[in-house]
Every structure is written in C-alpha cells, then in structure tokens.
Amino acid sequence: MTASNRIVLSSDHTAIQLRQTIAACITAYGWVVVDIRTAAAEEHTPS
C-alpha cells in the first residue's frame, strides 16, 4: 500500500451513514479507506 491509494474519512455523529456509504464507494474503486470513526449516533442522542 502506498500513500497514493489511501484516503482518510471522518465525520461527526450526524453523518455516520453517509460516511459509510462513501467509504464503500471509494473501496469499490480500489482505494484503502482509513475511517477515523466517531461514536454511533445513538450514543449522542439526548435522552
């Protein structure tokens, strides 16, 4: 793996699903996705 075929993704808790969709598309093109994850949206929802 080289630096030229990696991409880092991150988002806040409101865009987790979008980030996962984008990661899947990028992976389909042969890129390696480094996902700097945030906690699940449920963990940030006020009670």
For the stretch 6-36, pLDDT in tens is: 999 998 888 888 999 999 999 999 999 998 8
Q: What is the pTM of this model?
A: 0.67
Partners of 34 in beta bridges:
8
Tell me how many domains the chain contains: 1
Task: Tell me the backbone φ, ψ of residue 2, rounded to 5 degrees.
Answer: -120, 165
Across the range 27-46, mean pLDDT stands at: 76
Contact 36, 5 (CB under 8 A): no
Residue 30 sits in which domain range?
3-44
- Which pLDDT band, with edges at 50, 70 and 90, does 42 fall under? low
Beta strands in the chain (DSSP E): 6-10, 32-36
Query: Residue 47 pLDDT > 60, yes or no?
Result: no
